[in-house]
Amino acid sequence: MARAKKTAETKANTETAAKTEDKPKKQGKLSTAEARREYQRRYYQMHKEKAKEYQRQYNLTHKKKARGRGKSSFDAPREVVRSTFNTADLMHSPVEKTLKMLEKIINGERLFTM
């Protein structure tokens, strides 16, 4: 019997909680954050159609970036074409690479800057 009494109390509590939630809040003074949220909500509701139309027009006039996935859409980026070597390039590269750089400088393919 104690169990039935407990469920009846719980049921009564949930009913009263539901009734209090259904009632609108008093239109008293709102806090700054609440007032801002309420203003933004009203503004959004009033201008929703205008914003949607603007978005439609924007999408028609601006192209989206191509988004691909997987290996099939892989695009190899272009290599940066440099026309000069500097002293740091020569000093900090391995010997074999330094020789290739010096050959390119001597052949006139690349310039050398200090």
Tens digits of residue pLDDT in 28-83: 788 999 999 999 999 999 999 999 999 999 988 887 776 666 666 666 777 777 78
Tell me the C-alpha distance between 6 and 1, whole Å.
9
Amino acid identity of residue 82, one-letter, is R
**13-22: string of b/e by CB count within 10 Å (b at 16+)?**
eeeeeeeeee
How does residue 15 score in pLDDT terms, banded at 50, 70 and 90?
Answer: low
Q: Dihedral sign, CA of 11, 12, 18, 21?
A: negative
pLDDT above 70 (res 18): no
Q: What is the pLDDT of residues 78-96, one digit of tens each?
A: 777 778 888 998 999 999 9
Q: What is the pTM for the complete model shown?
A: 0.31
pLDDT at 91: 92
Cβ burial, residue 48 (10 Å; 0-12/13-18/19+): exposed
